[in-house]
Chains A and B, each alone.
Chain A
Amino acid sequence: MTSLLWLMPIAIFLGLVGLISFFWSVRSGQYEDPEGNAARILFSEDKPIIDEEDE
């Protein structure tokens, strides 16, 4: 049972990594244009969604 002492924090930590990546994806505008992005993956050239100068 002692293994739980360190397995559970690891599990929660991994979950947190997922949560933080989700926050990052919202912030970087990945939910702004779901239809366009679905197609954009097929184009060979791609540019950042938010212009660096705005940030």
Chain B
Amino acid sequence: MAEIIFDDSGCPSGQSTPQDIARQEAGSTVAAQDLTPYVQTRANGDHSIDLMISGAHCAGCMAKIERETAALPGMKGARMNLSTMRLNVQWKGKDTTASSIVARLEELGYGAKAFDMELEPLENKKELNGLLKAMAVAGFATVNIMLFSVAVWAGADMGENTHNYMHWASAAIALPAVAYAGRPFFRSAWSALKNKTTNMDVPISLAVLLACTLSMYETIHGNPDTYFDAAVMLLFLLLIGRYLDARLRLKTGESAQRLAAMQASTASLISESGDIVSVQASMIKPGDKLLIAAGERVPVDVEIISGTSEIDTSIATGEALPVTSGPGGKLYSGMINLGAPLTARALSISSDSFLSEISQLVEAGEQKKGKFVRIADRAARAYVPVVHTLAALTFIGWLLVGGELRTASLNAIAVLIITCPCALGLAVPAVQIVASGRLFKKGVLIKSGDALERLSKVDTVVFDKTGTLTLGRMQLTNTKDISPKNLEAAAMLARSSRHPIARAVAVAAGNGPMATNIKEISAKGLSTIIDNKPIKFGSADFLGIKNAKNSQTESWLQIGKAKPVRFAFKDTPRIDAKDTVANLLTSGYGVELLTGDKRAMASETADALGIENWQAEVSPKDKLARLETLASEGRFTLMIGDGINDAPALASAYASASPAGAADVSRAAADIILQGDKLSGLTTAVSVAKQAQRRVVENLSLAVIYNMIAVPLAIFGFVNPLFAALAMSGSSIIVTLNALRLNR
């Protein structure tokens, strides 16, 4: 048999943009991760590890990854899941082999990070599989009972025995099927009743159970009509909605965890005996002593014990330029140590005022958000009492006009079944899964269904600057004023350093050789001797220059005694930041900029992007206050930010978004996450959310119209089993089709 060989020539991963390359450059400043804490050892001595793969797009990538990993020495097997982007590898031998697997994957051009198995949402997965099975059972029962029912409806000349036989056969299928497939509803209804509240599942359970009981009674007494088909069909249609809803939640949850896993880190713990051990960042306890090497991300919040170094603090403060920090200084997780190694002690949240204030503010914001009620639930709250009252009134009414007990209960159950919210249960999840699927393809991750609903109301967009509108990275801006020879000379020095300005020069010059014997003076500059000429690259006062314009955003290069050359740097906006802001403004949204960075830098960015309302040097509390002012003016705000200082604002804004590279706490507080280096997903997200909300409202209106027609018929006893079945499936199909229109 011929084997089909996939190659990745047509794979989009081959095309990397300059920004991708820049990101890889920036990423390489962070030191390699030790993987041994993530390796699992089996009883028979085999090891295994789960890795999150990035950069794989197609089946060709999957085949290549599996083939190449399995070819490494000692491997027992490698299996990749293309849907969740996880690779499971098993091998014999030492646990340190893990890093060689990652190295091999990186050679092939894929990113690989250890995945913490504890993060896996096992419970949700079980629930989803349970719903899938329940749906299958209900579907099986619906189809079979429907066959018998059609025979009963059509067979007017059917003998009485055949008739009864059909009903008994239906009962034999329906009762076990309802007992199995109805459990999710019964359980939820029961727990609601126990807490003395009601939810949508109460009338559903009631309708299904009563319909079965009554049909059983009719079957035993040989009467002509049974409602087994309606009961199981109701469960089947509702289970489709439940399944879609659960799948959306699992998928969004998994993607959020995938992001977290990609940033999961290890830390170097200094044990009491002075040994350095590598552990998972999640295992560090407050008080532990840690070594933070140059170039490493700070794994947890710490206080420096010894050492002084330059720190990239943009994730906490929004400032684009590094800050020097020494003993007693506090560092927050996600900051990057740019200079010398530091010894530090892990802090607990409560021991640090900044962090505890942030977490209190975030909590307060989330509580407020917790009160948000989804439109389906709001409808359900209004709906449930009406359904119960109508059914009860029908029952009493028929008794009053002298109907039999049997007729009265038949009609009351018909009301319960006909009003059952198939449209409510199916239409909203269907719309949301279509909308989130569409946004997924655009690189926008929706964290929950109510995020979409909140997003649809937004009228004011508030941006953070560093890391959100800008990339949070310095870039060389005056390349054309610098001769290639000078740029290369500066780059030979800069390639040795992790300082953001040095990185910017190295990126601008591309790959090349590095000078030898480079001396780096923290916060000043670099110097060495090339071809017997001293070369210096650094700040103005490092070179002894007096007429510097702005010491923070420029550096100077001097070769020998020649005239110093000026290098200017800027934290440039993302490529599509200007278009995104312009789009939002023309669509009538209010746009504001709130940043913790200095005034001069904020005004420059605001001018470049055409944002009129901006505030600089704002504290996390000020951001919050501004959002509250906007809210009190009746505006619905969408906050977009990435730093720790944005987290309270993200939590308390009406809706919020974060770029994928944001701090953990911000990503957790945001409703949507924008993947990749682009902001344009934001406009798509808002417009898709608006369309989705329109569909939801349409679907709910359809449901109301349907009920207005069907309920009176049910109350007055015109609903036979055939009508109930047709009405129910018809309305469900209509709302699903309406939801699918969103996909175009």
Q: A: which residues have CB within 8 A of B?
A: 1, 4-5, 8, 11-12, 15-16, 18-19, 22-23, 26, 31-36, 38-40, 42-44, 47, 49, 51, 53
**B235 CB to nearest A CB, Å:** 15
B23 within 8 A of A: no
Q: How far is the CA of A39 from the CA of B58 in the complex (A)?
A: 9
| Alpha-carbon distance between A52 and B132 when the two chains are bound, in angstroms | 24
Question: Are A33 and B82 in contact (CB-based, < 8 A)?
Answer: yes
Find out whether the CB atom of B83 lies under 8 angstroms from the CB atom of A26: no
The residues of B that contact A35 with a CB separation of less than 8 Å are: 82-83
A19 to B139, CA, bound (A): 9
What is the bound-complex CA distance between A31 and B84, given in angstroms?
12
CA distance A52 to B147 in the complex (A): 41
Give A40 Cβ to nearest chain B Cβ, in Å: 8
Q: Mark B190-221, 1 if CB is under 8 A from A, else 0.
A: 00000000000000000000000000000000
4 more contacts with CB within 8 A, not counting A19-B140, A39-B58, are: A8-B169, A26-B136, A43-B3, A44-B3
In the complex, the chain A residue whose C-beta lies closest to that of B159 is A1
In the complex, chain B residues whose CB is within 8 Å of the CB of A19:
136-137, 140
Closest to A22 in B: B136
Contacts of B189 in A (CB 8 A): none
Beta-carbon contact of A33 and B173 below 8 Å: no
B122 within 8 A of A: no
**A39 to B62 alpha-carbon distance, docked (Å):** 9
Residues of A within 8 A of B63 (CB): 39, 43
Chain B residues near A34 (CB-CB < 8 A): 83
Q: Are B129 and A26 in contact (CB under 8 A)?
A: yes
Report B82-95 CB contacts with A as 1/0, cut-off 8 Å: 11100000100000
How far does the Cβ of A30 sit from chain B's closest Cβ, in whole Å? 11
Chain A residues in 8 Å Cβ range of B81: 32-33, 36
Query: A4 touching B136 by the CB < 8 A rule?
Result: no
Say whether B80 faces chain A, with CB atoms less than 8 Å apart: yes
- Checking A5, A23, A39, A47 against B59 with a beta-carbon cut-off of 8 angstroms, the contacting residue is A39
Residue of A nearest to B58 (CB): A39
CA distance in complex: A42, B144 (Å)? 36
Main secondary structure of the interface of A (DSSP, over half): helix
Q: Is B133 an interface residue (CB 8 A)?
A: yes
Alpha-carbon gap, A40 to B58, bound state (A): 11
Cβ contacts A to B, 23 pairs, < 8 Å? A1-B162, A8-B165, A11-B147, A15-B144, A16-B140, A19-B136, A19-B140, A26-B132, A26-B136, A32-B81, A32-B83, A33-B83, A36-B59, A36-B62, A39-B59, A39-B62, A43-B3, A43-B63, A44-B3, A44-B4, A47-B77, A49-B79, A51-B90
B132 and chain A: residue at smallest CB distance = A26
Q: Which residues of chain A come closer than 8 Å to B169, judged between CB atoms? A: 8, 12
From residue 112 to 158 of chain B, which have CB atoms closer than 8 A to chain A? 129, 132-133, 136-137, 140, 143-144, 147-148
- In angstroms, Cα B132 to Cα A47, docked, is 25
Q: How far, in angstroms, from A26 to B127 measured CA to CA in the complex?
A: 13
Question: Which B3-62 residues have a C-beta within 8 angstroms of A?
Answer: 3-4, 6, 42, 44, 58-59, 62
- Contact flag A23-B133 (CB < 8 Å), given A36-B59, A39-B62, A47-B77: yes
Contact A42 B83 (CB under 8 A): no
Does A42 lie within 8 Å of B4, measured CB to CB? Answer: yes
Q: Mark B294-324, 1 if CB is under 8 A from A, else 0.
A: 0000000000000000000000000000000
A14 vs B58: C-alpha distance in the bound complex, in angstroms?
Answer: 38
Most chain A beta-carbon neighbours within 10 Å: one of B6, B42, B129 = B129
Partner of A36, one of B83, B90, B133: B83
Q: Are A31 and B132 in contact (CB under 8 A)?
A: yes
Indicate with 1 or 0, residue by residue over B614-632, a CB within 8 angstroms of chain A CB atoms.
0000000000000000000
Interface residues on B, range: 20 to 34
Give which listed residue, A8, A32, A43, contacts B4 with CB less than 8 A: A43
Contact A15 B1 (CB under 8 A): no
B159 to chain A, nearest CB (A): 7
CA distance A34 to B247 in the complex (A): 13
Point out the residues of chain A lying under 8 angstroms from B147, CB to CB: 11
Chain A residue contacts of B140, Cβ below 8 A: 15-16, 18-19
Chain B residues numbered 553-577 whose CB sits less than 8 Å from any CB in chain A: none
Docked CA distance A43–B65 (Å): 13
Instruction: Tell me the bound Cα distance from A12 to B44 in angstroms.
Output: 46
Give B77 Cβ to nearest chain A Cβ, in Å: 7
Residue numbers in B under 8 Å from A12 (CB-CB)? 144, 169, 173
CA distance A11 to B83 in the complex (A): 36
Q: Which residues of A contact B3 (CB under 8 A)?
A: 43-44
Q: How far is the CB of A5 from chain B (nearest CB, A)?
A: 8
List of B residues within 8 angstroms of A39 by Cβ: 6, 58-59, 62-63, 82
CB nearest to A23 among chain B residues = B133
Q: Please, which residue of chain A has its CB at the minimum distance from the CB of B125?
A: A32
Indicate if the CB atoms of B79 and A47 lie closer than 8 Å. Answer: yes
Q: Given the complex, which residues of A lie within 8 Å of B165, measured CB to CB? A: 4-5, 8
Once the chains bind, are B80 and A11 in contact (CB under 8 Å)?
no
Bound complex: CA A6 to CA B83 (Å): 45
CB closest chain-B residue, reference A49: B79
With both chains docked as a complex, state the minimum distance between the C-beta of A50 and any C-beta of chain B, in angstroms. Answer: 10
A13 vs chain B, min Cβ distance (A) = 11
Chain A residues whose CB sits within 8 angstroms of the CB of B129 once the complex forms: 26, 31
CA distance A18 to B137 in the complex (A): 10
Could you say which of B62, B136, B144, B159 contacts A11, with CB atoms under 8 Å apart? B144
Minimum CB–CB distance for A36 against chain B, Å: 3
Q: Decide if B133 touches A53 in the complex (CB within 8 Å).
A: no
Centre residue among B81, B137, B143, B162 by max chain A CB count within 10 A: B81
CB distance from A52 to the nearest CB of B (A): 11
A29, B83: Cα distance in complex, Å: 13
Which residues of A have CB within 8 Å of B83?
A: 32-36
Question: Which of B44, B58, B63 has most chain A Cβ within 10 Å?
Answer: B63
**Bound form: Cα–Cα A19–B142 in Å:** 12
Q: Which 10 A-B pairs have the closest CB atoms?
A: A39-B59, A36-B82, A44-B3, A33-B81, A35-B82, A33-B83, A19-B140, A35-B83, A22-B136, A42-B4
Q: Which residues of A contact B148 (CB under 8 A)?
A: 8
Residue of A15, A42, A43 with most partner-chain B CB within 10 A: A43
Docked pose: A12 CA to B4 CA in angstroms: 41
Contact of B133 among A1, A26, A43 (CB under 8 A): A26
List residues of chain B with CB within 8 A of the CB of A26.
Answer: 129, 132-133, 136
Give chain B interface residues in 650-674, CB to chain A under 8 Å.
Answer: none
Cα separation A8 to B168 with both chains bound (whole Å): 12
CA distance A32 to B140 in the complex (A): 22
Complex interface: chain B residues within 8 A of A42 (CB)? 4, 6, 59
CA distance A29 to B257 in the complex (A): 21
| Residues in B neighbouring A43, C-beta threshold 8 A | 3-4, 63
A15 touches B132 (CB 8 A): no
Q: Measured between alpha carbons, how far is A8 from B159 in the docked complex, in Å? A: 17
Task: Name the distance in Å between B179's Cβ and chain A's nearest Cβ.
Answer: 15
